[in-house]
Amino acid sequence: MLAIAVYANMNGIRSSRKIESACKRDINFMYLLEGKPAPDHSAIARFKQLHLAPCMKTLFAGMSLSLDGMSELSGEQIFIDGTKIESCANKYTFVWKKSVTKQMGKLMEKIPELFAEAAEDFDVRLDFPEGIRLRHMKRLRRRLKAYQKSMGIEFVHGSWKRKTSLQRLTKKLDEAIRRIKDYTKKLFIAGNRNSYSKTDRDATFMRMKEDAMKNGQLKPAYNIQFGVDAQYVVWVTEGPQPSDTTTLIPFLEDFEAHTGKKYPRIVADAGYESEENYLWLEGRGQEAYVKPANYETSKKRSVKKDIGRRENMAYAPEEDSYTCANGKKLTVTGTRRCKTKTGYVSEKTQYGCVDCKGCPRKAECIRAGTSKTPLEEQSKRFEVAKEFQEQREKALARITSPEGIELRVNRSIQAEGGVRADEGKPFLPPVPESRAKEHLGGSNAFGHGAQHDLPAPQDTSRQGSALFVPCDCGGLTSKQKGRMHVTDKVPVIFLRPFCVQFLHENVCVVIKI
């Protein structure tokens, strides 16, 4: 079953029904079945969902280790990049966590009125010293039902019939209980996310690069992270984070937990820059070749001439002060601690000028912004994260070195481009997270492990060649061997073009890793 799933994925066949049809009609699938009857589509779906998806990362890790054992990977640097792949779920199936929390808060404000009405009209009282909970509401409903039975009150149904106050109160209570259960379920599904899709609960609404209406519309998507070494996708993760900043640490931890490997150099773009990431990599002895977010803008002439920017002011480390273009000093006025979504706490030092009145260059130095204070009464202020600036300067020195420039050129090779173009559409099916992992893992491990059409490979000695492993090719004719451009070797399963062509033309060959 694994061979069938792998070969079907290599040929772009994802549907279990199409795989079943191929097993009955395609001679290559028949060969892999070894004379056994074709499996039912439901059996194929169960295998992929219950067996293949949970072990996909294990299979992926095994393939990465196999490549490393064959000296196909450098083992020195890993290029990390991410892309947002849209889910097939409808873009209007959104559930916003903030909206649910707001509606639940409004509902909880009305609940005490129901308890007060029950106590006043029907003498049904409950004690809740720690606040009203769902169990208290259910207990009140049971008390009201018992009161109805004891008084012999019969509830009527229909908009034309007059209902008693007890029935109206019971209906309000039932509706409140139903809504609280619904809101609680939605908050549980959302978890730490701010949104999710009703039809694809693992998808999170994000802003995509493909924005046809140019209005920043949010769409259900996954943030897919790829780790590439020597043009091989060695690891893939998916997550709900809308930005790449918070994905670096979980990606490397997940990769090392499954493979046991640790790359000494991490190469990534400006989207991964943060103080937390810098310090985390430095503490583990890994060099961060991360381009600073202000790298491109800092080279502009307008930025270099902006007297209001901290970078263009003279800094006195012994006094810990800055001097502006007018010769006035900006000293430390305080510190501020900021906590990120991941829980990391960063300390920022605040600087300010004592008196900026009468400064002839104030209009150039202070941006108007949205402050309601007149410009004449404002003073120059800014804050600096010293630890972050120190790490940024180290990263800038690394990426501008000859070795860093070479790594940046290599990083421009985007391995996820082939995955986004898989089957001609950059979508993930609306399936659970485990199925999404199976889809992505299969596409990369069995279909896009190597990108041979890329313009600047890391290892130029392998350009235009395939990855081969020695094995017994006895029984093949010289013509068949000639098609492979090598003698007594067969291509491994990582290379989609070679594997597919070889299996179609030589059905007698079994690929083994």
Q: For 261-284, how does the pLDDT look when each residue is reduced to its tens digit (9 = 90+)?
A: 999 999 999 999 999 999 999 999
Q: Are 361 and 338 in contact (CB under 8 A)?
A: no
Name the burial class of residue 283, with classes exposed (0-12), middle (13-18) and buried (19+) by CB atoms within 10 angstroms of its CB. Answer: exposed
Cβ-Cβ contacts under 8 Å for 295 (sequence gap 6 or more): 270, 396, 399
**Residue 442's pLDDT band (cuts 50, 70, 90):** low
Residue 503: per-residue pLDDT: 34
In this structure, the dihedral spanned by the alpha carbons of residues 140, 142, 147 and 152, taken in order and rounded to 10 degrees, is 140
Percentage of residues in the chain having pLDDT higher than 90 = 60
CB count within 10 Å of CB 299 equals 9
**Residue 454's pLDDT band (cuts 50, 70, 90):** very low
Quickly list H helices, 191-267: 248-259
The pTM is what?
A: 0.78
The mean pLDDT value for 149-159 works out to: 91
Residue 49: per-residue pLDDT: 85
More confident residue, 17 or 215: 17
**Residue 469's pLDDT band (cuts 50, 70, 90):** very low
The mean pLDDT value for 118-137 works out to: 90
The mean pLDDT value for 292-300 works out to: 93
Chain centroid offset of residue 162 CA: 55
**Residue 119's pLDDT band (cuts 50, 70, 90):** very high
How would you classify the pairing of strands 427-428 and 77-87? parallel
Is pLDDT above 50 for 507? no
Q: Are 95 and 195 in contact (CB under 8 A)?
A: yes
Is pLDDT above 60 for 30? yes
Percentage of residues in the chain having pLDDT higher than 70 = 80
Identify which of 482, 413, 426 has the alpha carbon closest to the alpha carbon of residue 454.
413
Which residues face 85 on adjacent strands?
222
Residue 446: per-residue pLDDT: 52
The chain-wide mean pLDDT, for the chain, equals 82
Name the burial class of residue 79, with classes exposed (0-12), middle (13-18) and buried (19+) by CB atoms within 10 angstroms of its CB. Answer: buried
CA–CA gap between residue 296 and residue 294 (Å, rounded): 6
| Least trusted range by pLDDT, from 50-64, 105-119, 453-467 | 453-467
Highest mean pLDDT among 67-81, 82-96, 178-192: 178-192
CA–CA gap between residue 326 and residue 362 (Å, rounded): 9
How would you classify the pairing of strands 287-290 and 265-268? parallel
**Residue 210's pLDDT band (cuts 50, 70, 90):** confident
C-alpha distance from residue 334 to each of 5, 330, 397, 427, 457 (Å): 61, 12, 30, 49, 50
